[in-house]
Every structure is written in C-alpha cells, then in structure tokens.
Amino acid sequence: MIDIKLIREDRDLVKENIKKKFQDEKLPLVDEVYELDKRVREVQVKMDGMKADKNKLSGEIGKLMKDGKKDEAEKIKKKIAESGEEIKSLEEEMNELQGKIKDIMMVIPQIMDPSVPIGKDDTENVEVQRFGEAVVPKYEIPHHADILEKVGGMDKTSAGRTSGEGFYYLIGDIARLHEAMIAYARDFMIDHGFTYAIPPFMIHGDVVTGVMSFPEMEAMMYKIEGEDLYLIGTSEHSMIGKFKDQIIKKEELPIHMTSYSPCFRKEGGSHGLEERGLYRVHQFEKQEMIVICEPEESMDWYDKMWNLTVEIFRNWDIPVRQLECCSGDLADLKVKSCDVEAWSPRQQKYFEVASCSNLGDAQARRLGIREKGEKGTYYLHTLNNTVVATPRGLIALVENNYQEDGSIKIPKVLQPYMGGKKVIEVKK
C-alpha cells in the first residue's frame, strides 16, 4: 500500500507505475482516491471548525446562567445540540470515505524500483546471471518420482488414500535427506547471523491482508472453518506479523531472522507430467528468511539475501541462476523481486526453487511496523527470501546428484546430517 501523499502530490507517477505493470484497468482508481481524499480533508476542516465553535459556545453557557440569562443559555444549548448532530453526521461520512479510500489503496500497486525490467508476464522475466555449469550427463535422468520410488523414498499412493491428491509420504533415507537439507539451511543461516525462530503455523485474517493481496490470499490460503485463522502458506506471513503494530527502536535494527515451518497451499489441479511427483503439492516444509530494516538499507539486504540461497544450492552441487521478475510478473506489494532457479538435467531447463522480494514499506504500512527516530516516526522496509523449500529443493538435489546406477550421491556438506552416509542406494 503506497503513501496517499503520492496521490496528492504526483498522480502521474502512480499512474505511470500502473501502466508499467500493464494494469490499465486500475488507472481510474487514482483519480477516484484523489477526489475521496480531497473530500476527507474538506470534511476534516469543517468538523474541526464546528468543534471549536461548539467548545466556545459551551464555555458561554455557564456565564449566561450565572448572569441570569437562562433563555439565552437555552438557545445556545439548542444550537450546540444541533451542531453535535451535524458533527456526528460528518464523522459518519468521514468513516465511510476513509473505508472507501483504504479499499482502493489496497489494490493500487506499490511503486516499483526503477531497475525492474518492463514486461507483461513471467515469459519476459530476465536472466541476470548463472552460478555453476549446467551439465546434462550422458546417461538418462529419470523423472524424480521414479528415482525416489527406486530408492524406496516416496509413497504418493498411500497419501492419496489418507489425504488425497497433492500429498505424499517421504520414507527412509529420502525423508532423512529432506530433513538434512532443512537442518543444513537452518545452521547455514544461523552461522550468517540470522536469529532462528519457529513461528505459529496459523494467523489471523488481518495479518494475512497485511502481508499479501486479497487475490493471492484467495488463491493460496486455507481457512479454518468457524475461526479467524488461516494456515500459513509460508512462514514469512507469521514472521512479519510478529511485528504488527510495533514501534521498533533504532538500535534493534536491522532485524534478520530465519524461520522453519510447514506450509499449506491450495495449488493443485492439472500440471501435466509434474502431477506425478512432488513439484506442486498442498503441503511442504520450508526454511525462510526475513529482514526488517531502514528504508535506505533494503536494496543492500535484497542482494545479500538471494545470494545466500545461491550459496546454499551451490554447496549442494546444484547449478542455479538468478531470474529477475519483470513488471507484469511483480506482485502488487513488491518493489523488486527475483527467483533463484535450479538446473534440471532431466528437463534441460531451470525451475524455480526460491524467491526473494523487497516489499518496501507496503507490509509495514498495512501492519503498522514503524521506527521512531530523529526524523520522526516512519514505516520500515520488509524483505523475505526462501532459504530452501522442500520438496522442490529435494527434486533439484536428487536430479543433479543422480548416478547412472540409480543411486543418489549425498553432497559432502549434508553427509554429517545423514550419519556419515555418502550415497543412497537403489532398493534391491
């Protein structure tokens, strides 16, 4: 949510930003908010004047009564009562106007960073750089579901009986490898100075609308029936929500935390070949990172954050690339965003395994996350980035460490988390 001062002072800037996001249907909203805000300020001025007059008249009543001028005092009382009714009516109008403004402001996109490439959708996202050599071995790489089944590591059939489509059992060494990845990512982030947290896995609706747009919420979130609670789709939601309505001291900044959680998402349906495996599922686990910082520091943190994810995947012998999200693919709350994509030697292309976002003051403004400093009270910037999300990270690891005999090589840094095991063998 942008500062309404931008609409008061530079409507053209806000409109140009909307055009760059190819959301021309939202252009009339800018002028609508401008007029509503103009009326709000007119009503405020009128109310302030009437309240001042009312207070002045109230002060005269006692004097008139003391002087025995009861009739005059009664007339003023009547005038004050009439003024009170009009003030009440203006307050009701004010509340209605502010409600309309808030609803519209929630759908006007955040001002993008000037460096964001302009493009209509994700097909126009821009590859920035690659890390590691994308190798295609001479032998065939099977579908990850087949690899996992051969080592006795996955059972989707049983999960279908217990839970339905989009769920899975991980078994034996693959389940252990999955947890090793999460544990390694946790320790990696702690070693880089991030504070570890395990957050609530359910959050209230006002936190949901504070951290994401309504269309995103409808597409992703599972609601608990009969309660104001939603299952989180990522721990960023509850981690940023932790600071709701807080004024943070300057000496406590920057706040940088890493969090573990299961994640729950509605996504499913027909996804072609990937429906067989673990690419799109309703439940997965994730190590996340969030930062709350001074506005002028947020772009530096953005670069630090996605680079940490790249380093982790390279430590697992997985080639990756950074793909910058273009304007049309950028969610409305985001200032700038990029994906880290892992190489798939089976498909001979990259696929998303992490996403890093700078949200500017959008979430902070919605949730009331502020700092009180020398330049007054102002909204801070929030950022989030995937450290590793399984099972997508597991797919990348399995494919890139698959050996011709069907076994899976365990990257050296993960071996201590696997009891020293170096290879996951095919089940006889």
Q: pLDDT > 90: what percent of the chain? A: 80
Q: How far apart are CA 168 and CA 374, in angstroms?
A: 53
| 410 in Cβ contact with 393 (< 8 Å) | no
| 94 in Cβ contact with 43 (< 8 Å) | yes
Look at residue 260 in the predicted model and tell me its pLDDT: 97
Q: Which domains does the chain have, with CATH numbers?
A: 4-105 (1.10.287.40), 122-424 (3.30.930.10)
Tokens 């990850």 identify what position?
144
Q: pLDDT > 70: what percent of the chain? A: 97
Q: Compute the average pLDDT of residues 325-351.
A: 97
Q: How far apart are CA 175 and CA 281, in angstroms?
A: 16
Q: How far apart are CA 195 and CA 288, in angstroms?
A: 11
At 279, which amino acid appears?
Y
Query: pLDDT for 46-94, tens place per residue?
Result: 988 888 887 777 767 767 776 777 777 778 778 778 778 888 889 999 9
- Determine the longest span between alpha carbons in the chain, in angstroms: 108
Query: pLDDT for 322-337, tens place per residue?
Result: 999 999 999 999 999 9
Higher per-residue pLDDT: 277 or 204: 204
Query: pLDDT for 285-314, tens place per residue?
Result: 999 999 999 999 999 999 999 999 999 999
Query: pLDDT for 216-231, tens place per residue?
Result: 777 889 999 999 999 9
Higher per-residue pLDDT: 166 or 134: 134
Residue 22, both tokens: 């190819």
Higher per-residue pLDDT: 279 or 369: 369
Look at residue 303 in the predicted model and tell me its pLDDT: 98
Higher per-residue pLDDT: 213 or 272: 213
Look at residue 73 in the predicted model and tell me its pLDDT: 75
Kindly report the pTM of this predicted structure: 0.89
The yes-or-no verdict on residue 232 having pLDDT over 50 is yes
Among the residue ranges 190-199, 241-250, 276-285, the one predicted with the least confidence is 276-285
Look at residue 272 in the predicted model and tell me its pLDDT: 42
Using pLDDT thresholds of 50, 70 and 90, give the confidence band for residue 275: low
Look at residue 274 in the predicted model and tell me its pLDDT: 52
Neighbours of 85 (CB within 10 A): 10
At 214, which amino acid appears?
F
Among the residue ranges 53-57, 187-191, 209-213, 284-288, the one predicted with the least confidence is 53-57
Higher per-residue pLDDT: 50 or 353: 353
Q: Compute the average pLDDT of residues 259-284.
A: 77
Query: pLDDT for 130-158, tens place per residue?
Result: 999 999 999 999 999 999 999 999 999 99
| 217 in Cβ contact with 349 (< 8 Å) | no
Look at residue 356 in the predicted model and tell me its pLDDT: 98
